[in-house]
Amino acid sequence: MATPKTPWPHAPTHQLAEAGTYFVTASTYRKAHHFRGRDRAKVLHRGLLTVVRDFGWRLEAWAVFSNHYHFVGNSPEGTESAESLSQMLAVLHTKTSGWVNRLDESSRRHVWHNFRETRLTHQRSYFAR
């Protein structure tokens, strides 16, 4: 009999089958402050707003820091799922890690760790975020 696979908390299963409002957090690998300083933070901030627009997500709130970011966003209208979230963040993380690695002359450095999302299903969970 096969042993059930234990979920690994650092690589959560993304539950994106339903459209809706999501709270998302993503952090840099080992919490490194790759985006410290106004100019670097601005690039990450602008990158986040750009990919959100390009993928049709609508942000309600967001915060960008030197080693992580959070946002509350609505999946694109007319879609039945939020599956584009993974693709959207892959684009953001690829572009920003490439940029910061070129800036620091660290071509193969691992910049982003993972993201975690929570679908906000009732008003109390929404306002808590």
pLDDT in tens, 101-126: 999 999 899 999 989 999 998 776 66
The enclosing H or E element of 114 equals strand 112-119
What six digits make up the tokens of 9?
């908390």
CATH class held by domain 21-128: alpha beta
Residues 6+ apart with CB under 8 A from 113: 10, 26, 27, 28, 29, 30
* In the chain, domain spans: 21-128
The residues near 57 (Cβ < 8 Å, ≥ 6 apart) are 73, 74, 75, 76, 84, 85, 88
User: How would residue 128 be classed by pLDDT, with cut points 50, 70 and 90?
Assistant: low
| pLDDT tens string 12-71 | 677 798 999 999 999 999 999 999 999 999 999 999 999 999 999 999 999 999 999 999
Q: Which two tokens stand for residue 5?
A: 């696979």
